[in-house]
Amino acid sequence: MNAPEKMPERTAAKPAAGVSHFHESARAQVAGGATYVDDIPEIRGTLYAAPILSTVAHGRLLGVDATVALTMPGVRDVILARDIPGDPVLGTSVHDEPVFAQDIVQHIGQVVGVVVADSVMQARRAARKMTCHIEAYPAILNLHDALNAQSYVLPPVFISRGDAGAALKQAIHSLRGTLEVGGQEHFYLEGQVAYVVPQEQHQWLIYSSTQHPGEVQHWVAHALGIDQHAVRVECRRMGGGFGGKETQAGHMAVWSAIAAYKLKCPIKLRLDRDDDFMITGKRHPFAYEYTAGFDDTGRLTGLKLMMAANCGFSADLSGPVADRAVFHADNAYFLQDVEIASYRCKTNTQSNTAFRGFGGPQGVIVIETILGDIARHLGLDPLAVRRRNLYGVDERDVTHYGMKVEDNILEPLLSRLEETSQYQQRRKTIFDWNARSPVIKRGIAITPVKFGISFTATVFNQAGALVHVYLDGSVQVNHGGTEMGQGLNTKVAQIVADELGIAFDQVLSTASDTSKIPNASATAASAGTDLNARAAQFAARKVKDNLAQFVAKLDGCGAAAVRFEGGQIITPLTARGFTDVVRQAHAHRIQLWSDGFYRTPKIHYDKATLSGRPFYYFAYGAACTEVALDTLTGESRVLQVDILHDVGTSINPAIDMGQIEGGFVQGMGWLTTEQLVWSDKGQLTTHAPSTYKIPTSGDIPEHFKIDLWPEPNREDNVFGSKAVGEPPLMLAISVYEALKEAIGAARPGLGVMLTAPATPENVLNALGRA
């Protein structure tokens, strides 16, 4: 028997925030001691479910034959739509996605039901022996067919400012173009999983790998036809999420709960990787058409832009994703006379969903493409054209949706990066290289990002937390956010420790739990720390105020004169240890726990007009990327990356640097190697690591330098910090633009049309050599 793990010794109470503390689960993860849903010991009697998938993209479901499956070893039952005790449609706001396909199937991989068996593999084998009788209908499989058929999951949205038509007629120059950008698989290391355990008196415990426990609770209650208070959802951690477990995790829980309801036993459902690909939604592919007017310096004078999002077969989160794409179609640039049309297209593919950036990347890439095309058309440095179009300070500072940009640091940030990356010198060196190199071409680009922080739906910008102080001076904090590896629990613990003036290792963040924090928003929109750390800080502050009033009364001073620092509570008369005061306060019946609530200030948003102030602030950054391109094979490599990113005053610099690195590399994968391919029958053919290529360590450039912008958030945010989860992904658009520069060097004087991702095939097409 192994000896019990020795607890680390408690460190001195130094300031916790602003320091690169280890991730709170790092040691456990490295040692294999961190528990994920599939690691939870199963209760006796647990059965296992596996999904039954449609093999047709669109058609009428005539029947399901379970004859063969039910004779297989270990198979207990087959669960179909007829077994749903509550609403057969998922509890989404649009109410357009069935729990199980009933009369109609709408994509290959749509779940028709689940097989339940004694083991995981028995269930999976039996599910593959199920026969679905389907009368095939014509299917819409791409954006162009959806636009032609006016096939939408939601009505189109239009936004305008000024008179784009008149501005384009008066423009000195104009340019028309198109762009197609593919989707992206989340490829979280831990796949989708749920474990449903029936409790006494018709109550339910759901272990779910989810970014949104509250929504899982709601969906399960909705499907079972019971009150939400009877459903408790817990999530200690996820092995990655990236938006793919914001809504999609709810499906696993609902399917498992329906099986558990019928069979009256615990049910676990964990998708294998192939089924995960086939069932779950991806980043939305987009198609664009634009007409841009501009002057001799490259400044935009008019723009008409059409954006079409491939939403798949149901709405899911496509409305707010497409809205955010519209909001970020400006990126860092003032659009004077502009018209934007946004189409939310319905196709017979997986229902696309949230993915890191949530539509922002699809908005940013199109304006960066337009400005890069303008620069090549005029023969100008693309950085000069980008600078010419930047938002100003106290002028040209209102977005096309009516929000004033009040915290603009774009010009000084770009200037700093231009200098530190030696952009101008390297650009000249690359020009000389390309002049003498007929096959290998190089390109360099600097692109900025201005990313709005807050949920665009104002209602979700709220959070709650609980802080409990125990008699030994240790502190437990619980909040509505979820940990997916991004370090949220670590940052929350740092903020609470500093609020109470105690050591970081005295604070423990516990599992997300709907029975502790109700109605919590998803951990998404890069707002996890902004919301939950602030709520936890407010909860700790209430306890702190209770203790301050207690010792102030003892020493005859005002509570405002009491300080909490270094593990002590200090008055003008004396200093007492934090733990000693806690024990004394408890003896005097002083409350040592409290709740905290935070709602983001200043924000408002009219969904009907897509106008207002949807964001509390903007996070900024810029990246300088150099690439090399083989014009004979289409292969490319990223040679050098320099990043300057704005995280405000960092709560944990190491975690923030990790988020910047990871976000950039994930964005690089989206734009270079990660290609989703469907057959003409609607079958996703890239559904495993053998055919779908995420970046590996070999794709990381030897020179990968990150600096943090040295300025706190100008808004009153927790610790002066800024969100860091999503904005860095869009810095990878510099890779795409650098590749276009390299292609342009091989085709001087000709336009560059590069479909993303920039696979060798797409690069060769752009070179005119495919």
Q: What is the pLDDT of residues 94-152, one digit of tens each?
A: 999 999 999 999 999 999 999 999 999 999 999 999 999 999 999 999 999 999 999 99
Q: What is the pLDDT of residues 598-621, one digit of tens each?
A: 999 999 989 888 899 999 999 999
Q: Is the pLDDT of residue 455 over 50?
A: yes
Q: What is the pLDDT of residues 273-310, one digit of tens each?
A: 999 999 999 999 999 999 999 999 999 999 999 999 99
Q: What is the pLDDT of residues 641-652, one digit of tens each?
A: 999 999 999 999
Cβ within 8 Å of residue 140, ≥6 positions away = 58, 146, 149, 151, 346, 347, 348
The answer to whether the CB of 314 falls within 8 A of the CB of 153 is: yes
Long-range contacts: 716-720, Cβ < 8 Å, 24+? Answer: 716/601, 717/530, 717/534, 717/616, 717/617, 717/648, 718/495, 718/529, 718/530, 718/533, 718/534, 718/537, 718/651, 719/17, 719/18, 719/495, 719/533, 719/648, 719/649, 719/651, 720/648, 720/649
Q: What is the pLDDT of residues 150-184, one digit of tens each?
A: 999 999 999 999 999 999 999 999 999 999 999 99
* CA trace torsion 80, 86, 87, 92 (10° rounding): -110
Name the residue among 371, 406, 372 with its Cα closest to residue 389.
Answer: 371
CA angle (393 as vertex; 388, 394 as ends), nearest 5: 125
Q: What is the pLDDT of residues 425-452, one digit of tens each?
A: 999 999 999 999 999 999 999 999 999 9
The pLDDT value recorded for residue 12 is 58
**Residue 90 to residue 762: CA distance in whole angstroms:** 38
The answer to whether the CB of 61 falls within 8 A of the CB of 113 is: no
The pLDDT value recorded for residue 608 is 87
Written as one string, the DSSP assignment of 604-634 is: EEETTTTEEE--SEEEEEEEEEEEEEETTT-
Which SS3 state, helix, strand or coil, does residue 292 take?
strand
* CA trace torsion 54, 60, 61, 62 (10° rounding): -140
Average pLDDT over residues 400-415: 98
Percentage of the chain surpassing pLDDT 70?
98
Q: What residue has token string 């008369």?
A: 573
**Residue 220 to residue 234: CA distance in whole angstroms:** 13
Which residues sit opposite 512 in a β-bridge? 235
* Packed helices 410-420 and 423-436: angle between N→C axes, nearest 10 degrees: 60
Which SS3 state, helix, strand or coil, does residue 243 take?
coil
The answer to whether the CB of 240 falls within 8 A of the CB of 186 is: yes
Q: Is the pLDDT of residue 7 over 70?
A: no
Strands 104-105 and 59-65 come out as antiparallel
3-state secondary structure 515-570: CCCCCCCCCCCCCHHHHHHHHHHHHHHHHHHHHHHHHHHHHCCCHHHCEEECCEEE
**Residue 604 to residue 631: CA distance in whole angstroms:** 49
The pLDDT value recorded for residue 13 is 77
Average pLDDT over residues 367-393: 98
Which SS3 state, helix, strand or coil, does residue 270 take?
strand
The question of whether 726 is a catalytic residue gets the answer yes
| CA 273 vs CA 106, 191, 583: distances in Å | 21, 7, 52
Q: Is the pLDDT of residue 2 over 50?
A: no
Cβ within 8 Å of residue 261, ≥6 positions away = 85, 198, 224
Retrieve residue 294's tokens: 């501009």
Sign, CA dihedral 579-583-589-595, equals positive
| CA 689 vs CA 92, 185, 187, 481, 636: distances in Å | 31, 11, 9, 30, 20
**Residue 755 to residue 61: CA distance in whole angstroms:** 36
Q: What is the pLDDT of residues 218-235, one digit of tens each?
A: 999 999 999 999 999 999
Phi/psi at 468 (nearest 5 deg)? -115, 125
Model confidence at 10, in pLDDT bands (50, 70, 90)?
A: low
Q: Give percent helix, percent strand, percent coil of the chain, each to the nearest 5.
A: 35, 25, 40
Model confidence at 660, in pLDDT bands (50, 70, 90)?
A: very high
Which residues sit opposite 178 in a β-bridge? 289
Retrieve residue 198's tokens: 């029936």
| CA 550 vs CA 87, 541, 586: distances in Å | 53, 14, 10
The pLDDT value recorded for residue 607 is 86
The pLDDT value recorded for residue 720 is 98
Peptide bond into 213 cis (omega under 30): no
Percentage of the chain surpassing pLDDT 90?
97
Which SS3 state, helix, strand or coil, does residue 705 take?
strand
Q: What is the DSSP letter of 732?
A: G
The pLDDT value recorded for residue 5 is 45
User: Around 440, how many Cα atoms within 13 Å sit in the side-chain half-sphere?
Assistant: 8
Q: What is the pLDDT of residues 477-503, one digit of tens each?
A: 999 999 999 999 999 999 999 999 999
Element (H, E) at 575: strand 575-577
Q: What is the DSSP letter of 748?
A: T
Q: What is the pLDDT of residues 18-76, one digit of tens each?
A: 999 999 999 999 999 999 999 999 999 999 999 999 999 999 999 999 999 999 999 99
Phi/psi at 183 (nearest 5 deg)? -85, -165
**Residue 601 to residue 572: CA distance in whole angstroms:** 35
Name the residue among 553, 554, 551, 566 with its Cα closest to residue 500.
Answer: 566
Q: What is the DSSP letter of 42?
A: P
The answer to whether the CB of 277 falls within 8 A of the CB of 57 is: no
Phi/psi at 352 (nearest 5 deg)? -70, 160
Model confidence at 769, in pLDDT bands (50, 70, 90)?
A: confident
The per-residue pLDDT of the chain, averaged, comes to: 97
**Residue 366 to residue 335: CA distance in whole angstroms:** 13
Catalytic-role residue among 185, 674, 726, 741: 726
The pLDDT value recorded for residue 9 is 47
Average pLDDT over residues 228-250: 98
